[in-house]
Amino acid sequence: MDRHYMKMALELAARARGRTSPNPMVGAVVVKDNRIVGQGYHARAGTPHAEVLALAEAGNEARGATLYVTLEPCCHHGRTGPCADAVIAAGVAKVIIATIDPNPLVAGGGIRRLKDAGVEVVTGVMKEEALELNEVFIKYITTGLPFVVAKAAMSLDGKIATCTGESRWITGPEARAYGHRLRDWYDAILVGIGTVRADNPSLTARLANGEGRDPVRIIVDSTANTPLDANVLNQHSEAPTIIATTAGASPERLEALRQAGAEVLVVNEGPRVELAKLLRILGKQEITSLLIEGGAGVHGSALAAGIVDKVVWFIAPKIIGGREAPGPVGGRGADDLSEAAELERVKVSRMGPDFCIEGYLK
């Protein structure tokens, strides 16, 4: 039964995927006499936490009840008050927690406060599922760096375009829809100037229900030559466009891009944008997650820099062929197979005619 109710809490938490940054996703369920008397989830930063909402719904029924929560109740004052205090005040008898909050401001402090007040506490129920749900928050709160996902779509023989550069569409509508869902989930999306010039992408989240949240658009452009009429600079979107460049770029071009509405980040001296340094800058701007959509040069640089946490790779059952047709990862690559980037915790799913492989870099 503990797993049953915790699964419900995790499902509640996941409703806010892509909306709580820089906070975690949290769900809570209050159970009394094997009845659900309250439930809630944290919808976005600055709004009431899951525990507070669930307890409010439970009302007096919370006294003597069991609270299932996906993350340790907080014990510090942020944009809202400490949830641990609210749990104690409500008279909850037992709290079952999936995982401890890695935030240094909490990190077991909420559990200690509950225990000191005489509340029984159990931890670790569906821990792995809870950790995966909040993988973005955990990486960001413990390192100050965004969680990075590399995403690509290729043919069965590893091509992302034909020899003439045609790339739309290698995958089918189901895979493309999931790609837009990823844009909706993650804070920012990154491509290189080569992709902007070749495809002129919009880099927006276009979901069927029209409710997609556009990610911050980041263009890696060492010489600041992004065309002023590019779609990334001409969107009806609340999300900004950032041009990540170097000190070697022309001051006139930098000013032209600013006038076009872009935020310009001079990352380093040059000649190329250092992705690891860019990542640190983005973290300071509270960008907690980054989706890299390439092209091949950016993917190669990201893997070489060791900044990728996870990959989402779509494979279409098509064979394009051709020596000149590009692949998804450029750069020098591994000299030896022992140096190849290797994945763990791999999941394979079917999306229409295509396959999606998701995994974590070892």
Binding residues for Zn(2+): 49, 74, 83
Residues of the binding site for NADP(+): 153, 169, 195, 199, 222, 295-301
Strand partners, 31: 36, 66
Strand partners, 344: 360
Residues of the binding site: 49, 74, 83, 153, 167, 169, 183, 195, 199, 203, 206, 222, 293, 295-301
How many Å apart are CA 266 and CA 348, to the nearest integer? 39
Active-site option among 51, 72, 135, 358: 51
51 is catalytic: yes
Hey, which residues are catalytic here?
51
